[in-house]
Amino acid sequence: MKQFLSFVKKELYHILRDKRTLFILLGLPVTQILIFGFALTNEVKNAKIAVLDHSKDASSISLTTQIEASRYFDIVRDLHSQGDIDKAFKEGVIKMVMVLPQNFGQDLQHFNKAQVQVIADASDPNVATTLTNYATAIIMDYQDRITQERKLPYAINTELRMLYNPQLKGAYTFVPGVMALVLMLVCTMMTAITIVREKESGTMEIMLVSPMRPIMIIAAKAVPYLLLSMVNIASILLLSIFVLDVPLRGSLALLVFGSILFTLTCLSLGLLISSATNSQQTAMFISLVGLFLPTMMLSGFMFPIENMPLPLQIVSNAVPAKWFYKIVSSVMIKGLGIKAIWKETLILTGMMLLLLTLAIKKFKIRLA
């Protein structure tokens, strides 16, 4: 028994001396509880919405004020015509529009009933359902409040309309997200081990003495994976359209261009990891663990980024999958063009050039 306790004591000392193991054992659970408990939540707060008030009377203004006073909505647009609704949704700023018809207050006073239309962007069906439920509950609360002040009951009918995805299919959200996740992991992981494998197998010396410049060696490493990734993109799109019934409402050429740009960004990131590490195990660990969780949590297809604390929102901007998810969702589900995704395209281009430049600079032409 004494020998057994001595071995336990020895192992305990080993663990306490290894700070990385200690962090994984003690720090990781605490970090995950804090992140999942406070930062990552499906609850929608401060959603940006617009109001189209045709009535502009005391009742419609009172209802709008009650909507704005809640912590769930932030009214950022005051629309003036029905044509502004489609334009506002295409800009991608708002998630929902509340339309109050003409004579809203008079209908309540004279007929004891009125109608409100709520239009939601259902390209993300979970967020759209949550927002319409919040809006319906606030409208019902307003109805109950004004009914208590009168002898006759009031009835406000809420008409719901789901834009882009009226059937609320979950595949409309998961297809863009899975495309981003698969391409990110496959492209980055495969290229992350390509250069470091040459170092471990001892064949890097042969490549370094060849007349090819470092940039050509890196390009030669990336091209086969780019071709294989294009096969992956085609497979995912064909399965999404013909098996999952997800529509392609926008330009196919624009979607393919965005996918290739994202693939090049991932390949550049993989080459950077491969140039900066010295073992396949380390490269695989960084590309798998270091990219899988940020892509899942901070790309926006599982948890709304708008609800996260400001530091996580800032960090999410460095995740390429976030911008690609917006491109696929805008082009494929909403049918938007280059005017709607030029910012995301420009950011991905900048990321790709930065990562590729760093990969070339990190590529060592002399072995240690």
pLDDT digits (tens, 9 = 90+) for 172-219: 888 888 888 888 878 888 788 777 777 777 776 677 777 777 777 777
Q: What mean pLDDT comes out for the span 17-21?
A: 75
Instruction: Provide the pLDDT for residue 149.
Output: 62
pLDDT of residue 96: 92
In the chain, CATH 3.40.1710.10 sits at 47-147
Strand ranges, E, within 136-247: 155-163
Place of tokens 């949550």: 130
Model confidence at 282: pLDDT above 60: yes
- 171 exposed, middle or buried (CB, 10 Å; 0-12, 13-18, 19+)? middle
Are 183 and 226 contacting, i.e. CB atoms less than 8 angstroms apart?
A: no
What is the spatial distance between Cα 333 and Cα 340, in angstroms, rounded to a whole number?
A: 13
Output the pLDDT for position 106: 86
Query: Residue 90 — very low, low, confident or very high, per pLDDT cuts 50/70/90?
Result: confident
| Reported pTM | 0.79
Query: Mean pLDDT, to the nearest integer, of 21-47?
Result: 72
Is it the case that residue 46 has pLDDT exceeding 90?
Answer: no
pLDDT at position 136 is 92
* Cα distance between residue 82 and residue 76, in whole Å: 17
Q: Which residues are CB-contacts of 140 (< 8 A; sequence separation ≥ 6)?
A: 156
Domain 47-147 superfamily per CATH: abc type-2 transporter like domain (3.40.1710.10)
Check whether 368 has a pLDDT greater than 60: no
Report the distance separating Cα 249 and Cα 15, nearest Å: 55
**Longest CA–CA separation in the chain, Å:** 93
**pLDDT tens for each residue of 223-233:** 888 888 888 88
- What would the mean pLDDT of 43-47 be, rounded to a whole number? 79
Q: Between these two residues, 221 and 36, which has the higher pLDDT value? A: 221
Residue predicted with more confidence, 53 or 154: 53
pLDDT at 124 over 90: no
The C-alpha atoms of residue 127 and residue 47 are separated, in whole angstroms, by 9
Average pLDDT of the chain is 83
pLDDT over 90 percentage in the chain: 15
pLDDT band at residue 364 under the 50/70/90 scheme: low
Identify the pLDDT of residue 118: 93
Lowest-confidence region among 99-113, 143-157, 252-266: 143-157
Could you give the C-alpha distances from 250 to 299, 335, 336, in angstroms and in order? 21, 4, 6
Q: What is the pLDDT of residue 7?
A: 81
Give the mean model confidence (pLDDT) for residues 41-70.
86
Q: Which of 21-35, 49-63, 193-207 has the highest mean pLDDT?
A: 49-63
The confidence score (pLDDT) of residue 281 equals 78
